[in-house]
Amino acid sequence: MIAFQTEEQVMYCYSDINGSCTKRSLSLVTQAALYILFCTGIVVTITGNIMVIISIYYFKQLHSPTNFLILSLAVADFLLGVTVLPFSAVRAIETCWYFGEAFCTFHMSLDGTICVTSIYHLCLIAIDRFFAIIYPLIYPIKFTVFTISLLITLIWTVSLAYTFFMFYSRVTEEGLEELAIAMSCKGNCQVLTNAKWGLINTIVFLIPFTLMTCTYSRIFIVAKRQAKLIEGLSDQTGAAGNYRSRVAKRERKAAKTLAIAMVAYVVCWLPYFIMNAIDGFHNIIIPAFVFDIIYGICYFNSALNPLIYAIFYPWFRKSVKLIIACKIFTTDCSTINLFNQ
């Protein structure tokens, strides 16, 4: 016997408004567990990235072009935790968007901006490491703090212009007007993507991903060769050779750590771009709960970067201890040596 769901059993985002979206019913225990999970993730994201921001901004020894790129990336992840994650958490748990259509567009635009900004920061970091390890004599001349600052400004500006134009002009919905009307209801905040913009967004992701993969592959091949050469020189030249060996080792470790951060980003964001391509090329409506799960995986990356730094960067662990102990308020703490080598 087939059981039909009555109208009284259907839950709506806005029970007193016609045209409201339906709402998935979750038990109180499930909702409480999800709120705890999301709140923990938000706190970790905000706290971890604040530590990165304070560390690089405050300690003068960390004022390098590479670290300024990491600082800007941490700012992006921090903004995600403060301005995007709380509203996305409510949408995922309550299964409705309660913040209005105007803020939905702004929310998606800001979310997209941070996404594009993050991947191009990681791409620029890969290029920075490439020149630092493969062309060490040219690197200090080409990659100055001023040059990096200009590139960071360019990335943020282009990312803002690209994503805000895409969402506010609604070019992604061209040709999907009938589908958009069919999906339209009060409490929905999901963007449709046509084939053209699905391809463009995929290219925006694939170009830096391909560049990063090629760059880091080249870095590790050359770094392995340099390691053998420097070990041989250090045995012949004594203290000077040992110093060069330590510096080269630190550069290689930095490249390895940042490569891990790049891989983490790709793993977290690849499902979203696959979903985006499927949605655009096949006009398949992704179920809301699948959409929220995939977005949750993407957001997890913003909490992951500071954890990667904590595991692989001794200077970050040392700076965090100094910040927590409030020693940064003491005289000359900003000039303390954070490197063991």
- Predicted local distance difference test score (pLDDT) of residue 2: 43
The pTM assigned to this predicted structure is 0.83
The whole-number pLDDT of residue 56 equals 92
5 vs 317, which has greater pLDDT?
A: 317
Q: Assign residue 135 a region (left: φ > 0; alpha: ψ between -120 and 50; beta: otherwise).
A: beta
Which residue matches tokens 């567990």? Answer: 33
pLDDT average, residue stretch 288-306? 76
Structure tokens at 276: 């985006």
Give the number of other Cβ atoms within 10 Å of residue 177's Cβ: 11
Alpha-carbon gap, residue 74 to 118, rounded angstroms: 9
DSSP string, 169-188: TTGGGTT-HHHHHHH--BT-
Alpha helices in the chain (DSSP H): 28-58, 65-79, 85-94, 101-134, 139-142, 145-168, 177-183, 195-237, 239-282, 288-312, 314-324
Q: Domain 25-335, CATH 1.20.1070.10 — does that match?
A: yes
pLDDT tens profile 225-257: 766 666 565 555 555 555 556 655 666 666 677
Q: What mean pLDDT do residues 275-285 have?
A: 64
Q: Where do the structural domains in the chain lie, given as residue ranges?
A: 25-335
User: What percentage of residues in the chain have a pLDDT greater than 70?
Assistant: 84
Residues in the chain: 341
DSSP helix/strand/coil, 12: strand
Model confidence pLDDT, tens digit, residues 10-19: 788 888 888 8
Helix axes 288-312, 314-324, angle to 10 degrees: 90
Tell which wins on pLDDT, 218 or 161: 161
Neighbours of 222 (CB within 10 A): 15
Note the pLDDT tens digit of each residue in 68-123: 999 999 999 999 999 999 998 898 888 889 998 899 999 999 988 998 898 899 88
Q: What is the mean pLDDT of residues 128-145?
A: 87
The more confidently predicted of residues 30 and 247 is 30
Tokens 């006009």 correspond to what residue? 283
